[in-house]
Amino acid sequence: MKLEVRQADITTVEADAIIVNLFEGVTKPGGATGAVDEATNGLLSDHIKDHEFDGKTLDTLVLHSPSGVKTKHIIVIGLGRQAAFTPVTARKVAAKSIQKARELKAKVVATIIHGAGIGGIDTILASEMTVEGLLLGNYRFDRYKTKERKKYEKERIEKVLLVEHDKNKLNDIQIGLSRGEAIANAILNTRDIINESPTKITPSSLVQAAKEIASLSDSMGLTILDEKQLQKEGYNALLAVAAGSEKEAYLIHLHYKPKGVKQSIAFVGKGVTFDSGGLGIKPWSAMLTMKSDMAGAGAVLGIFQALAELEAAGMPLETEVHGIIPTTENMISGSSMRPDDIIETKSGKTIEITHTDAEGRLILSDALTYATYLRPDAMVDFATLTGAAIRALGRSYAVSMGNDRQLLDTIRMASEETGELAWELPLPKEYEKYIESPVADIQNSANSENAPGAIIGGLFLQEFVREIPWTHLDIAGPSWQDDDTNPVYPKGASGYGVLLGLKLLEILKG
Ligand code: BES
Ligand code: ZN
Ligand code: ZN
């Protein structure tokens, strides 16, 4: 899908479908929507008068074969109440509108920039949101749908024109387009990696992906620790999880350092390319979707791809960023890690294995230790850590937990601004009893049915962060969508974390 800025009056643009919008409760449309209404002799106002459409958020009205404009279909999308309108709504609206256009089998689509006119959002931001919405909403993982592919081919949108008649706004729209494309492409790539079959996405293919990303920018460096080096340096927690897999484990360290920057942040992403549960094997139904247990790694890769692409587009983010990915499979064999095993982590702390399925926190313990050696100003980990996080907050929110009020508040702010939501749970000292071990420093799971699983995961990780401001994001919920409630995040891998991570960098840089 190609996107292009076009200076024109939307009523004169030739396209298969044009997309305009309407605030809830407006009876006389203004701006570009008003122009379309006038050109079609009040076609839209007639529908509003008949109460067929009132502009509720994401409601759509499609007007077929209208006269007075040069398009087959007019798609009018509801923006909701103007007082509640935000850039996040603009992104959602764009996503929904492109899905409508695709249903109509449009090849060439013309759209206005949502929020840039009456919406009152800054033009660059409105353009970025619109572009992200278009690209993220149009995504579908269809490379293995051999039968549907023909149908999908017919539904493929070739070109979207971003139409604006005011020539003073064109430059800003172009900037928003470049930003939105850079970021959305990174997210789409992340989704592809997560959705792909786990026969193809393995620890070594994540290494390959990191290499490709690092090669995009001169400001990027890459260090890989393979199993031999991990052994030599004592990353035994990562190696313990990897023991049951035939595939080699790695610790990936991406490093982005533009010139003259002082702040640094480390993102750590759980990269379990398949989680069978290990010897404490998961039931079949819980094992489904466990290819997505590397969604944290995917988020980190996506952030780095976006950093590289934004730099290439002439709008670099000026913060030093580390991306650390411990990656392995959690599988079963004669050499698998056992319950009762006691391991000595890189940090020196010992762990009694009480559950082989609580493997994420093990590999993250070594990765967080590695991150502390880099002395970053802040650390944020993205991890599909617990089913309990899904039960607590569902699929719309990540669980956030941490040791630093300011970082937690900044993440909360970034989450609201991006729509990648996160909600905080506490890390109470009195719950540390759940990970007390009779034989080692700590154990990796609570031996109790009613234990607060997401919190225990957070408390476990906290043992490895030292004094560095840190936030743990349990993304088990939002990294995977099982329905199409939010048009920005179609079913399957969402790419959650890329927008949030980038926004955090933007805010921290001041
Ligand atoms: N990868 C899972 C967590 C998960 C579950 C992610 C569902 C996405 C969807 C993790 O490794 C795991 O198995 N966690 C256990 C922890 C328990 C054994 C302490 C869980 O949540 O049951
Ligand atoms: Zn597990
Ligand atoms: Zn897991």
pLDDT digits (tens, 9 = 90+) for 309-322: 999 999 999 999 99
Does ligand 1 have an atom closer than 6 angstroms to the CB of 386?
yes
pLDDT at 151: 81
Which tens digits make up the pLDDT trace of 23-45?
A: 999 999 999 999 999 999 999 99
Does ligand 1 have an atom closer than 6 angstroms to the CB of 355?
yes
CA of 359 to the centre of ligand 2 (A): 5
355 alpha carbon, closest ligand = 1
Q: Give burial (CB, 10 Å; 0-12/13-18/19+) of 38.
A: middle
CA distances from 110 to 15, 139, 169, 216 (A): 6, 18, 17, 32
- How many Cβ atoms are within 10 Å of 66's Cβ, its own excluded? 18
276 alpha carbon, closest ligand = 2
Test site for ligand 1: of 194, 288, 357, 461, most ligand atoms within 8 A of the Cβ = 357
Does ligand 1 have an atom closer than 6 angstroms to the CB of 353?
no
Confidence band, pLDDT 50/70/90 cuts, at residue 155: confident
Q: Give burial (CB, 10 Å; 0-12/13-18/19+) of 349.
A: middle
Q: For 190-196, what is the mean pLDDT?
A: 98
Q: Which atom of ligand 1 is nearest to the CA of 282?
A: 13
pLDDT at 509: 86
CA of 386 to the centre of ligand 1 (A): 4
- How far apart (Å, rounded) are the C-alpha atoms in residues 499 and 299? 9
Which tens digits make up the pLDDT trace of 7-19?
A: 999 999 999 999 9
Least confident segment among 217-226, 257-266, 292-301, 376-385: 257-266
Confidence band, pLDDT 50/70/90 cuts, at residue 189: very high
59 has pLDDT over 90: yes
2 is known as an active-site residue: no
Q: How confident is the prediction for the chain on average, in pLDDT?
A: 97
Which tens digits make up the pLDDT trace of 261-273?
A: 989 999 999 999 9
Does ligand 1 have an atom closer than 6 angstroms to the CB of 476?
yes
CA of 502 to the centre of ligand 2 (A): 28
149 has pLDDT over 90: no
Q: Which residues surround ligand 3, an ion (CB under 5 A)?
A: 272, 275, 293, 360
What share of the chain has pLDDT > 70, as a percent? 100
Which tens digits make up the pLDDT trace of 108-131?
A: 999 999 999 888 899 999 999 999
Dihedral pair phi/psi, residue 168, rounded to 5°: -70, -15
Q: Which atom of ligand 1 is nearest to the CA of 330?
A: 11
Kindly name the residue from 282, 338, 349, 412 that is annotated as catalytic: 282
What share of the chain has pLDDT > 90, as a percent? 96
Does ligand 1 have an atom closer than 6 angstroms to the CB of 119?
no
CA of 309 to the centre of ligand 1 (A): 33
466 is known as an active-site residue: no
pLDDT at 118: 85
444 alpha carbon, closest ligand = 1
Does ligand 1 have an atom closer than 6 angstroms to the CB of 329?
no
CA of 273 to the centre of ligand 3 (A): 9
73 has pLDDT over 80: yes
DSSP H or E run through 356: none
Q: For 1-9, what is the mean pLDDT?
A: 97
What is the DSSP track for 221-281?
Answer: EEEEE-HHHHHHHT-HHHHHHHTT-SSPPEEEEEEE--TT---EEEEEE-EEEEE--TTSP
Does ligand 1 have an atom closer than 6 angstroms to the CB of 128?
no
Q: For 76-88, what is the mean pLDDT?
A: 97
CA of 388 to the centre of ligand 1 (A): 8
Q: Which atom of ligand 1 is nearest to the CA of 355?
A: 18
- How far apart (Å, rounded) are the C-alpha atoms in residues 365 and 200? 26
510 has pLDDT over 80: no
Kindly name the residue from 96, 179, 191, 361 that is annotated as catalytic: 361
